[in-house]
Homo-oligomer: A and B are copies of this chain.
Amino acid sequence: MSDANAQYGFNGKNFPCATELSISLLAGRWKMTIIWKLREDKKRYGELKSSIPGITHKMLAQQLRELEEIGIVRRYVYPVVPPKVEYELTGLGLGLLPILDRLNEWGEHFRLPDREGILSNR
């Protein structure tokens, strides 16, 4: 029973509404972080990995491949040994940045009190 009214879709995800599709494309655990890290420069796989505390090897590789499939990032492979691979945002990915800025502002509503008070408490 497929969704006969789906008008927006990508790779098996289908929605009647473009917004829902967008969110579902961005919803992976690390996708936003990765896009964020690539907002200025392209980066090597290892650079990305060490700039994202807590991400696992598997997830970084997997999410990058999904972002690549979607068309948000582009992958450059240098034919050298040992391998060197760089990732950068595509036009589609760059188009996301202003939206992320807005989401960032919206998220300010949930800022937690900082901990200086606790750390310096007496």
Give residues in A with beta carbon < 8 Å to B: 3, 5-10, 14, 17-23, 25-27, 32-33, 36, 53-54, 71, 92, 95-96, 98-100, 102-112, 114
Q: Give 6 closest A-B pairs by Cβ, nearest first.
A: A18-B107, A22-B107, A27-B27, A22-B103, A19-B104, A18-B104
**In whole angstroms, how far apart are the Cα atoms of A20 and B53 in the complex?**
14
A112 B8 Cβ-Cβ under 8 A: yes
Interface of A is mostly: helix
**In whole angstroms, how far apart are the Cα atoms of A100 and B103 in the complex?**
10
Partner of A106, one of B9, B10, B22, B104: B22
A33 B10 Cβ-Cβ under 8 A: no
A10 B110 Cβ-Cβ under 8 A: yes
A99 B96 Cβ-Cβ under 8 A: no
Q: Which residues of B contact A102 (CB under 8 A)?
A: 98-99, 102
